[in-house]
Amino acid sequence: MKSRNRNMNNQKVLYEELMPAEFVERINDCPIAYLPLGTLEWHGYHLPLGSDDLQSKGFFTELAKSIGGIVLPMLFLGPEVNVNKDGFDYVGIDHYSFEDGYPQQLEGTAYYIEEELFVKVLEATLWNLSRAGFKIVVAHGHGPSNVTFGKCIEKFEKQFGLKLFELWDIGGTGNQGIQTDHAAFNETSLVLGLYPELADMDRLQEDADMIGIWGLDPRGTASEEEGRTIISNKVTVVGNRLKEELSKLKWAKREMKYSNMKKLYNE
């Protein structure tokens, strides 16, 4: 990859914001696509419903600014445990947060699709990314989506000629990984580190209702500083691995040279 003289913090890395010439420049330099596997889901009283996407997209944005590549829009639909009780579907944290047989709807959850359909969406996404010229795709976000993506890597790599990675496999797990609990120390710290204005720790007082928080209690442990430290460390670890993988590849440079253009506008 060529060295960058431009201001890293001012880089445009989000796919939807790039103009065609900017897209060509970035993909020619570093043909990596980052796919945030988000949700719209309860993450405690203190975090926003889009926490999964905010974390994965935010981390990928920092990574793209560091080593190159393009961050895709969030894929917010995903598979999950779905429990039907008395004719109503309770999804994921609706089920895990309560005693067996007593699921309850936690407000804001709106992302569930069957795994088979999710795999088809992934397949269509990767087909499109392959024809657009990407060579590496890194996905991460909501846990069940990560697991499903990981199960399909071998099949999709053969199908599309892409090199695929799930972030947990190259960025580590545990409290110092990326999105390794649910609204607890790790995720709360990451949201604070990326978007401190979107978290409200005052909603988790000593006697607060801790529904839907799975992992180390974030009260007194999670912080903006912890989040920034995790992000910085993982940008280095993941970035080095991806640069190593990219060094093994060759790719044709894309150009915007067109012919036989039809006039579609009115003067």
Q: Which domains does the chain have, with CATH numbers?
A: 8-246 (3.40.50.10310)
Q: What per-residue confidence (pLDDT) applies to 8? A: 56
> Does position 267 have pLDDT exceeding 70, yes or no?
yes
Q: What is the pLDDT of residue 41?
A: 97
Q: What is the mean pLDDT of the chain?
A: 94
What does the pLDDT look like over 178-192, one tens digit per residue?
999 999 999 999 999
Q: What is the pLDDT of residues 105-117, one digit of tens each?
A: 999 999 999 999 9
pTM of the full structure: 0.95
pLDDT digits 0-9 by tens, 99-149: 999 999 999 999 999 999 999 999 999 999 999 999 999 999 999 999 999
Whether residue 2 has pLDDT greater than 60: no
Average pLDDT over residues 44-71: 98
pLDDT above 70 covers what percent of the chain?
Answer: 97
Residue-wise pLDDT tens digits, 185-238: 999 999 999 999 999 999 998 777 899 999 999 999 999 999 999 999 999 999
Q: How confident is the model at residue 61 (pLDDT cuts 50, 70, 90)?
A: very high
Taking the mean position of all CA atoms in its chain, how far away is CA 262?
A: 39
State the pLDDT at residue 175: 76
Q: Is the predicted pLDDT of residue 45 greater than 70, yes or no?
A: yes
